[in-house]
């Protein structure tokens, strides 16, 4: 686990999109961040107090989290100077960048000398077991998408937040680097060796109280040929009791695959349920989560009503209108 | 690619089972092996001429292939002595053992000094791309099983051999270490990083002549929760035109999963076809391959007739009774 709280490194992020990891931490685990660190030329903010490295330490920060994408895939000299200083002052550093912290000699040696840890959350740090398929106690919910990047992580985070509000036992279980940085731990599933994928998910969601819900972060899509194997391992390793179908209605083709059309929600439902019931015969589809960010409020509400009627399942955009109806459905399971 | 022909190292294999990789090479690509090398205490044979390392070189052998499982997972001192000699004499060495050749310092330095190559075929040697899902030319057949280890590799090898006999254009495409050693190349799919699995299969089965068939070696099972993600990637990366359902009727539960019953052939058919049609809408199920090794001839024939009738698909044990009816079906596609 990455030590919290964090100081969020925004570096020279030009805009909001570049700082989306920092924004995710601010939105979902504000208690994990004491402030933001911005450099000369930073063009955005996540609306946390600006702090120097010294002020961050004084506020209790343990880890400097790279909350920004790096331009051109290079960890610049200007960044490195700050990161080395941070290590010298006693920060660990955590990053989800493609370029690894551990591949930078100056960072490695500064970390060694100062006894600090570099967390490259894209790379597994655990030798995961092969899945054994044994039924675990506690309950699990997984969002599965008609495509990649349709809002599965946000669906899980929204349901987790709603359950927290209701005083229910709940944990969000990250399977990608943004989720791992938000909560401080998880499994970078897309980087796990094929034979150990399902075992990594079992490891991520161990036995728990009978009334506890794990919200497992979804990945890929059964209909996305590049990543469907990862989705499959998530379903069989996760043994979900409840599935949420996730959809983005304005997509014209599968992400990155111009020749592939999106499946209907019905096609997703019909494919995923028998697959999930291999690992958990009691699994059911509990609701539909629609990402309506590209629709007007009127269009979104009309679309949600139409889907709810057509599918006979509670349907919402949990980020826009709350996850209440989805959590209501899970309370019946 | 591993250079052929091979000298097959049987070491001190106690019995037939321990030498099954060597036996596979002898059975399926006898032209790839000039002879066998046995040590003191070897209790089995694959019925090839016994040769010293010198005789192997004289017969043209380029690679010494470890055709045997090592006891207790250790590469013994007695083995190492032979392997170092072989490197000094100009052999490459290829192995599918869990313990890697490259982790043995004596072998690494002997290989370096002599300019020879160590092939650990369990480990990918290529940086595979992410799958792009683009339709490829040529035809592809994939066996999918109700369980792991039900005869998918043998089904592919039998169909490839039958097509060769008929003068058809055909290639067997290995996805596991035994298949890779048999043919000299392939993708060790279970050791590939999750995000690149489907891309590795695309890489393995590139564009080809319109009337050429790739027989892609199957892995795992959609119903085996430990490995189903690998199977999924194989189906979506492989874009098969034809699927063969593979089954072993005497299994009482899924391999290694005592709580999981085997699915029916009907359940496999109903699950796999919509999945395969995501990547190739023209995909069809061409036949059924039954592993009848634990049945009498009478029982086997009766069972095959019953399945053929029930499923309405050509059904055979291709290893016992030939792959003719399956290849007949593919000739219609």
pLDDT of residue B197: 98
Report the pLDDT averaged over residues B128-157. 97
Q: How far apart are CA B92 and CA B115, in angstroms?
A: 9
pLDDT of residue B73: 74
Query: Is-contact B230 B197, C-beta < 8 A?
Result: yes
Q: Which residues contact A238 (CB under 8 A, 6 or more apart)?
A: A140, A142, A201, A205, A216, A279
pLDDT of residue A74: 82
Closest CA to A242 of A297, A205, A203, A287: A287
Give the chain A residue whose CA is nearest to the CA of B176: A195
Query: Is-contact A299 A249, C-beta < 8 A?
Result: no
pLDDT of residue A146: 98
- pLDDT band for position B258 (50/70/90)? very high
pLDDT of residue B32: 96
- Cβ separation of A229 and B193 shorter than 8 Å? no
pLDDT above 70: percentage of residues in chain A: 100
pLDDT of residue A187: 97
Residues of chain B found within 8 Å of residue A132, distances taken between Cβ atoms: 226, 256-257
Nearest to B229 among A194, A226, A270 (CB): A194
pLDDT of residue B279: 98
pLDDT of residue B314: 98
Indicate if the pLDDT at residue B99 is higher than 80: yes
- pLDDT band for position A254 (50/70/90)? very high
Which residue blocks in chain A are alpha helix, DSSP H? 20-28, 53-58, 77-88, 105-114, 152-165, 177-183, 197-204, 228-238, 265-279, 297-311, 318-321, 324-331
pLDDT of residue B69: 84
Condensed to tens digits (0 to 9), the pLDDT of residues B137-150 reads: 999 999 999 999 99
pLDDT of residue B74: 82
- pLDDT band for position B23 (50/70/90)? very high
A249: left (phi over 0), alpha (psi -120 to 50) or beta: alpha
Tokens encoding B97? 């053992």
Nearest to A271 among B237, B275, B279 (CB): B275
Residue of A176, A218, A225 for testing the chain B interface, max B β-carbons within 10 Å: A225
Closest approach of B238 to chain A, Cα-based (Å): 10
pLDDT above 90: percentage of residues in chain A: 96
Query: Is-contact A32 A6, C-beta < 8 A?
Result: yes
Residues of chain A found within 8 Å of residue B228, distances taken between Cβ atoms: 198, 232-233, 236, 275, 278
Indicate if the pLDDT at residue B9 is higher than 80: yes
pLDDT of residue A225: 98
DSSP bridge pairs for A92: A63
Residue of A131, A187, A228, A273 for testing the chain B interface, max B β-carbons within 10 Å: A228
Answer positive or negative: Cα dihedral of A197, A200, A204, A206: positive
Q: Which residue has the higher pLDDT, A98 or A82?
A: A82
Condensed to tens digits (0 to 9), the pLDDT of residues A188-245 reads: 999 999 999 999 999 999 999 999 999 999 999 999 999 999 999 999 999 999 999 9
Omega before B5 within 30 of 0, i.e. cis: yes
pLDDT of residue A282: 98
User: pTM for this structure?
Assistant: 0.95
Which residue blocks in chain B are alpha helix, DSSP H? 20-28, 53-58, 77-89, 105-114, 152-165, 177-183, 197-204, 228-238, 265-279, 297-311, 318-321, 324-331
Q: What are the distances in angstroms from CA B160 to CA A6, A304, B12, B163, B333? A: 58, 51, 32, 5, 16
Indicate if the pLDDT at residue B71 is higher than 80: no
Residues of chain B found within 8 Å of residue A135, distances taken between Cβ atoms: 259
pLDDT of residue A259: 95
pLDDT of residue A71: 75
Q: What is the 8-class DSSP label of residue A306?
A: H
Report the pLDDT averaged over residues A100-106. 96
Mean pLDDT of chain A: 96
Report the pLDDT averaged over residues B124-145. 97
Condensed to tens digits (0 to 9), the pLDDT of residues A197-212 reads: 999 999 999 999 999 9
Tokens encoding B56? 């192997």
Condensed to tens digits (0 to 9), the pLDDT of residues B199-240 reads: 999 999 999 999 999 999 999 999 999 999 999 999 999 999
- Cβ separation of B236 and A257 shorter than 8 Å? no
- With a cut of 0.90, is the ipTM above it? yes
- pLDDT band for position A272 (50/70/90)? very high
Among chain A, residues having any CB pair with chain B shorter than 8 Å are 130-135, 189-195, 197-199, 222-223, 225-233, 236-237, 254, 256-257, 259-260, 263, 267, 270-271, 274-275, 278-279
Mean pLDDT of chain B: 96
pLDDT of residue A69: 84
Q: How far apart are CA B114 and CA B126, in angstroms?
A: 24
Condensed to tens digits (0 to 9), the pLDDT of residues B175-203 reads: 999 999 999 999 999 999 999 999 999 99
Condensed to tens digits (0 to 9), the pLDDT of residues A33-92 reads: 999 999 999 999 999 999 999 999 999 999 999 999 887 778 999 999 999 999 999 999
Indicate if the pLDDT at residue B72 is higher than 80: no
Report the pLDDT averaged over residues B80-96. 97
Q: How far apart are CA B179 and CA B213, in angstroms?
A: 17
DSSP bridge pairs for B6: B33, B63
């Amino acid at each position: 686990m990455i030590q919290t709280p964090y100081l969020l490194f925004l570096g020279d992020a030009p805009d909001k999109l570049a700082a989306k990891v920092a924004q995710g931490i601010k939105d979902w685990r504000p208690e994990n961040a004491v402030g933001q660190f911005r450099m000369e030329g930073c063009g955005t903010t996540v609306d946390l107090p600006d702090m120097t490295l010294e002020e961050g330490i004084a506020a209790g920060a343990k880890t400097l989290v790279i909350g920004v994408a790096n331009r051109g895939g290079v960890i610049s000299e200007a960044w490195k100077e700050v990161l080395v200083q941070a290590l010298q002052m006693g920060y660990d550093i955590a990053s989800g960048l493609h370029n690894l912290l551990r591949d930078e000699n100056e960072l490695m040696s500064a970390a060694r000398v100062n006894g600090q840890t570099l967390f490259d959350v894209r790379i597994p740090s655990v030798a995961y077991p092969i899945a054994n398929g044994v039924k675990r106690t506690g309950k699990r919910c997984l969002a599965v998408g008609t495509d990649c990047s349709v809002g599965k992580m946000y669906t899980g985070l929204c349901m987790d937040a709603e359950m927290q509000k209701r005083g229910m036992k709940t944990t969000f279980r990250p399977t990608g680097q943004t989720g791992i940085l938000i909560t401080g731990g998880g499994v970078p599933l897309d980087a796990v060796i094929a034979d150990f994928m399902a075992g990594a998910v079992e490891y991520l969601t161990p036995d728990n109280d009978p009334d506890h819900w794990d919200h497992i972060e979804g990945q890929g899509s059964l209909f996305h040929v590049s990543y469907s194997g990862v989705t499959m391992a998530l379903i069989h390793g996760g043994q979900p009791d409840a599935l949420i179908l996730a959809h983005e209605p304005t997509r014209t083709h599968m992400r990155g695959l111009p020749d592939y059309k999106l499946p209907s929600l019905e096609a997703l439902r019909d494919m995923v349920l028998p697959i999930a019931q291999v690992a958990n015969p009691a699994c059911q589809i509990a609701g539909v989560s629609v990402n309506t960010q590209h629709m007007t409020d009127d269009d979104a509400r009309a679309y949600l009503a139409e889907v709810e009627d057509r599918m006979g399942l509670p349907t919402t955009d949990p980020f826009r209108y709350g996850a209440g109806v989805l959590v209501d459905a899970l309370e019946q399971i």
